[in-house]
Amino acid sequence: MTTSVPARRPEMHPASVLLRKILVLNDSVEFRLRVHLKTNETDFHAMQHLLQNGPMAPSLLARELHLTTAAVTSVIDRLVKAGHVRRIPHSTDRRSVIIEPTESSAREAMAQLMPMILATDSLVRGLDEAGQHAVTTYLGGVAAAMQERIDAMAAAAEGEPR
């Protein structure tokens, strides 16, 4: 009988442990916000893209969500019905529309998130310049490492060695 021993996880720096905890807590924040906004996960992610990047064409939203244009049409229909987004005519292509969040939905989402955003901003602003630089450097490195891993996984899925 062979038993496999799981690979031993390397000793993690406390900052790395806390970052992992933050990522897990972010999932919980997103879940609570989805419940509050009465959206499913896919619709919520569509709202995130629209709130972060601004109004966009359905085809771009589909690409951001890794969905077909037919599937994103259903997402948009649900979000319109719930009052979270609206379709507006494209400024230069009268056959197209742009999807934008409604002011009331954006306001509601920000009302839920702003206390957390202001609290974390206050924490970093309370540090001296060297501390702020250290936090910014660390988080910039984390973001770069995450993007590098995303790009590598995407390339591997497409059959490109990386």
- pLDDT given for residue 22 in this prediction: 96
Contacts of 146 (CB under 8 A, 6+ apart): none
Would you tell me the crossing angle of helices 103-125 and 129-157 to the nearest 10 degrees? 130
Task: Look up residue 29 and give its amino acid.
Answer: V
Query: Could you report the per-residue pLDDT of 103-132, keeping only the tens digit for each?
Result: 999 999 999 999 999 999 999 999 999 999
Specify the DSSP class assigned to residue 94. Answer: T
- pLDDT given for residue 161 in this prediction: 56
Q: How many helices (H) and strands (E) does the chain have?
A: 6, 2
CA dist., res. 67 & res. 43, Å (int): 12
Query: Could you report the per-residue pLDDT of 74-113, keeping only the tens digit for each?
Result: 999 999 999 999 999 988 888 889 999 999 999 999 999 9
| Neighbouring-strand partners of residue 69 | none
Q: Is the CATH number 2.60.120.1310 carried by domain 14-126?
A: no
Would you tell me the crossing angle of helices 103-125 and 14-37 to the nearest 10 degrees? 160
- pLDDT given for residue 2 in this prediction: 59
